[in-house]
Structure 1
Amino acid sequence: MAATTAQSTGTLPSGVEICTTAPDIFYLPELVFGGLVWILVASTHIDPTNPLGWVMFVSVFCFVMTFLWMIIFVTGCHKSSSGWAVADFVYHFLAVLFYLSAGVDLAFITLQHKSGDQRIYRIDISAVVFAFVATLLYFIHAILSAIRWKHF
């Protein structure tokens, strides 16, 4: 009697299964907190424009890409291929780097303008907090996607 060593192959969820699997359950919180960063930064006076332009780019880019990524997973267009598992990890790792840099830029600018209008300052502080929460969510998603990719 020979022992068989069948290696389990991973699968990517589709449909409502994305609401029950560990990395994919983070899509909605990523959208919520990323959208809050986008809304809060857009509701304040953009000064200086260059770093806050980067923050806006990151929040809009990651919001749109996460929404499209979620739609691809819901519809099952990934066909559970290992290439999509790699792409999932790469995208979320890139989003972590983007949001981390945007959060640091936003925090630096917010600290420089703390003597200005207090309402704008509070909005900017909220945007900084939400940017770092979004960074954390994307980081957890990237780690769990890497684990899923390893077991694929």
Structure 2
Amino acid sequence: MAATTAQPMGSLPSGLGICTTAPDIFYLPELVFGGLVWILVASTKVSPPNPLGWVMFVSVFCFVMTFLWMIIFVAGGHKNRSGWAAADIAYHGLAAFFYLSAGVILAYITMVNKNKLPFKNYQIDIAAVVFAFLATLLYFIHAILSAIRWKNF
């Protein structure tokens, strides 16, 4: 049975087509979970500031870049230019690596400060850890599916 999308082989989707293709359907969940990490980390007392600064950088950077990347794909700015499929793999692989590092740091800081934090802040930090690892998983799946799409070009 043929795929439900009408994308020709060797073509990247644009417009609302990104809402129906396998790797590109992850843009919105990546934005949601990345935004939740950003909001949850920003809503608690930042202690120690340096490692959590990395978590904030990763969440804000990936949120903004994913949004811009999605806008480029929706607007069709990637059409008739070579290298976009490879750049898609590179960006999402880098974002997965960044979120993995941020999630590990956030989990470690949360575990170390477990007894020092008020229970509400501890719950918020745990939620941020969970969302960071979910964002890592989404970016990783997106990178793998983008690599499969690139291989089929």
Match of 2:32 in 1: 32
Q: TM-score, normalised by structure 2?
A: 0.92
Q: What is the number of residues matched between the two proteins?
A: 145
1:78-122 per-residue CA deviation (whole Å, 9 max, x = no partner) reads 015340000000000000100000000000000011112111100
Tell me, yes or no, if structure 1 residue 16 matches structure 2 residue 27: no
Would the alpha carbon gap of residues 14 and 136 (structure 1) be closer, same or farther in structure 2, given more than 3 Å must change?
same
| Cross-structure match for 1:124 | 125
Percent identical residues:
77
CA RMSD of aligned residues (A): 1.0
**Contact 1:13–1:21 under 8 Å retained in 2:** yes
Matches within 5 A, 1:99-114: 99-114=99-114
Q: Provide the rounded CA distance (Å) in 1 between the counterparts of 2:142 and 2:110.
A: 27
Q: For residue 71 of structure 2, what is the aligned residue in structure 1?
A: 71
Matches within 5 A, 1:36-51: 36-51=36-51
Q: How many Å separate the matches in 1 of 2:81 and 2:17?
A: 16
* Structure 1 unmatched runs, 5+: 1-7
SS, match of residue 35 in structure 2: helix
Deviations 1:16-38 (A, max 9, x none): 00000000000000000000000
- Give structure 1 regions of 4+ aligned residues with deviation exceeding 4 angstroms: none
Equivalent residue, structure 2, for 1:4: none
Deviation at 1:14, TM superposition (A): 0.2
Any conservation in 2 of the 1:40–1:123 contact (CA below 8 Å)? yes
Q: Cα deviation per residue 1:36-56 (whole Å; 9 max; x = unaligned)?
A: 000000000011011100000
Paired amino acid for 1:21: T
- The alpha-carbon deviation at position 10 of structure 1 amounts to 1.1
Name the SS for the 1:50 alignment partner: helix
